[in-house]
Amino acid sequence: MDRGRKPRNLTDLGRGEEVCVRSLEGRPEICARLQEYGFTPGCAVRLFSKAPLGGPMSFDLRGGRVALRRNDAACILI
């Protein structure tokens, strides 16, 4: 899939960029929790801001705002 290129994930977003979640990949309990926060395949997500020095990223989705560590955001493929 994707012709051998690494699939993009939420950490690749620029500020204000809006994308659609495609799938999740990572530890099952983390993926389950992320989906419970609403990051399900097909959901529209916009990057609101990134904390400096590799800190958490804040996303707007489903009418609310959720912050995730980058490790967690990297589980969400777009």
Binding residues for another protein, rule: CB under 8 A, are: 24, 29-38, 40-43, 48-56, 58, 62-69, 71-72
Q: Under DSSP, is residue 14 helix (H, G, I), strand (E, B) or coil?
A: coil
Least Cβ distance, residue 5 to another protein (angstroms): 25
Do the Cβ atoms of 54 and 70 come closer than 8 Å?
Answer: yes
Q: In the complex with another protein, which residue's Cβ is closer, 1 or 53? A: 53
Least Cβ distance, residue 20 to another protein (angstroms): 13
Least Cβ distance, residue 4 to another protein (angstroms): 26
Residue matched to tokens 């530890």: 27
Q: In the complex with another protein, which residue's Cβ is closer, 8 or 71? A: 71
Do the Cβ atoms of 47 and 17 come closer than 8 Å?
Answer: yes
Q: In the complex with another protein, which residue's Cβ is closer, 5 or 49? A: 49
Q: What is the dihedral of CA 49, 47, 64, 55, to 10 degrees?
A: -40
